[in-house]
């Protein structure tokens, strides 16, 4: 079966995003989110690998009235696997995690990740108590992911199998302090 | 013994974990995450019992750095409780505090100090202040129970008003030494 195009998946998840708060994991997921359009409600990571889900959890707990989406990669998710257990213990209803799984470390030479050897991240998330945890392989299922992110009962986890393409870099801003300020100002008003 | 009056004045034991809890409360800390330590037992219980706090048990200490960053993005203040052995788990995640100037309040109970009975606790305990400094985290020291309120409040102010990373190191002398004797 042909894997999905990561840019198209992210673009369809982030179009008409309204008040959706997004944390983008380092590397290709951050570029994918940037390609979908820079936005003050996107906080892209350039480092701190393994932290994306936990940033999403802190944000979801602080903003229970908003929907929060973490978009990250399989390598980043594997480094923070314990965070799935931590999220499972909290069960925030407003948090969704989308892992763009190309089964590769895309930024470092396309080495295989553990998902290439069979690690089933969705099964891990399910075992940790996520309300929904699915592997997504077909374009027709992307609308399920979208409705889950915006309306589903969380925490939700979608492991989206994507092609291992090296796509053109579309870089988000990289000044972390500025990214933080603009996010908070857009969300909370002038501080 | 009941009924007997003592002529010596009773030594007042200061409930320093309660003083830290009050400081966190007055500094409007809403998310408290932890990997447990015996030295944090009472503070963890106080936070769990506090309806104004969301308490998040972690699988590893570095998770708390991300949690605190996300909380701040969402307009809440967080504190992270750990033992000194956990500081070593935090190094790369502390990038978040250093590059984005996220406020970070770490409360670290020390091992590997005076009286330590477990030599495996010594290397990380001894390296803790320097490891934090190298990662861009300021350190403050709490050694005496009567200072707990003032020091915890000032640590929180460093974190949230100066938007910087600070670790309050709680001396092993204050916590007491783990004995490794059988409990009776």
pLDDT band at A1 (very low <50, low <70, confident <90, very high): low
The full set of domain ranges for chain B reads 16-175
Residue A149 lies in a domain: yes
Task: Give the closest-approach CA distance of B10 to chain A in angstroms.
Answer: 43
First and final CA of chain A: distance in angstroms? 50
Query: What is the ipTM for the molecules in this complex?
Result: 0.97
pTM: 0.95
Dihedral sign computed on CA atoms, order B12, B18, B24, B28: negative
Q: Give the number of domains in chain A.
A: 1
pLDDT in tens, B109-166: 999 998 899 999 999 999 999 999 999 999 999 999 999 999 999 999 999 999 999 9
Name the residue among A23, A85, A78, A92 with its Cα closest to residue A50: A78
pLDDT band at A135 (very low <50, low <70, confident <90, very high): very high
The whole domain housing A114 covers 6-188
Residue of B nearest to A190 (CA): B75
Residue B5 has pLDDT above 80, yes or no: no
First and final CA of chain B: distance in angstroms? 21
Which of B62, B72, B100 is the closest to A179 by Cβ? B100
Residue A1 lies in a domain: no
Contact criterion met (CB < 8 Å) for A180 and B102: yes
CATH code of the domain made up of B16-175: 3.40.50.970
Task: Give the closest-approach CA distance of B112 to chain A in angstroms.
Answer: 27
Rounded Cα distance between A48 and A179, Å, is 15
Contact criterion met (CB < 8 Å) for B74 and A176: no
Task: Give the closest-approach CA distance of B117 to chain A in angstroms.
Answer: 30
Q: Using an 8 Å CB-CB cutoff, list chain B residues near A173.
A: none
Residue A151 lies in a domain: yes
pLDDT at residue A2, rounded to an integer:
73
CATH number of the domain at A155, please.
Answer: 3.40.50.970
Contact criterion met (CB < 8 Å) for B75 and A52: no
């Amino acid at each position: 079966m042909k894997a999905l195009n990561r840019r198209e998946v992210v673009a369809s998840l982030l179009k008409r995003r309204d008040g959706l708060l997004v944390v983008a994991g380092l590397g290709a997921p951050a570029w994918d989110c940037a390609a979908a359009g820079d936005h003050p409600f996107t906080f892209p990571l350039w480092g701190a690998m393994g932290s994306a889900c936990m940033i999403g959890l802190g944000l979801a707990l602080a903003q229970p009235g908003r929907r929060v989406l973490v978009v990250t990669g399989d390598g980043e998710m594997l480094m923070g696997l314990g965070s799935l257990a931590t999220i499972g213990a909290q069960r925030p209803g407003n948090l969704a995690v989308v892992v763009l799984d190309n089964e590769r470390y895309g930024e470092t030479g396309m080495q295989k990740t553990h998902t290439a050897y069979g690690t089933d991240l969705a099964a891990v998330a399910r075992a940790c108590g996520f309300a929904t945890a699915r592997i997504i392989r077909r374009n027709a299922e992307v609308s399920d992911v979208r409705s889950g992110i915006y309306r589903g009962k969380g925490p939700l986890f979608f492991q989206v199998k994507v092609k291992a393409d090296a796509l053109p870099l579309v870089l988000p801003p990289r000044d972390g302090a500025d990214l933080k300020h603009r996010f908070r100002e857009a969300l909370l008003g002038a501080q | 013994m009941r009924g007997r009056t003592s002529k010596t004045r009773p030594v007042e034991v200061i409930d320093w974990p309660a003083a830290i809890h009050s400081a966190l409360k007055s500094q409007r800390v809403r998310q408290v995450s932890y990997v447990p330590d015996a030295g944090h037992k009472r503070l963890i219980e106080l936070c769990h019992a506090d309806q104004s706090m969301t308490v998040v048990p972690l699988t590893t200490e570095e998770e708390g750095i991300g949690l605190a960053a996300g909380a701040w993005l969402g307009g809440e203040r967080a504190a992270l409780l750990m033992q000194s052995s956990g500081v070593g788990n935090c190094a790369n995640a502390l990038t978040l505090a250093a590059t984005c100037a996220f406020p970070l309040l770490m409360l670290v109970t020390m091992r590997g100090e005076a009286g330590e009975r477990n030599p495996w606790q010594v290397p990380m305990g001894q390296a803790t202040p320097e490891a934090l400094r190298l990662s861009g985290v300021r350190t403050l020291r709490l050694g005496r129970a009567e200072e707990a309120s003032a020091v915890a409040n000032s640590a929180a102010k460093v974190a949230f008003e100066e938007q910087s990373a600070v670790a309050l190191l709680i001396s092993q002398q204050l916590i007491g030494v783990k004995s490794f004797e059988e409990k009776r």
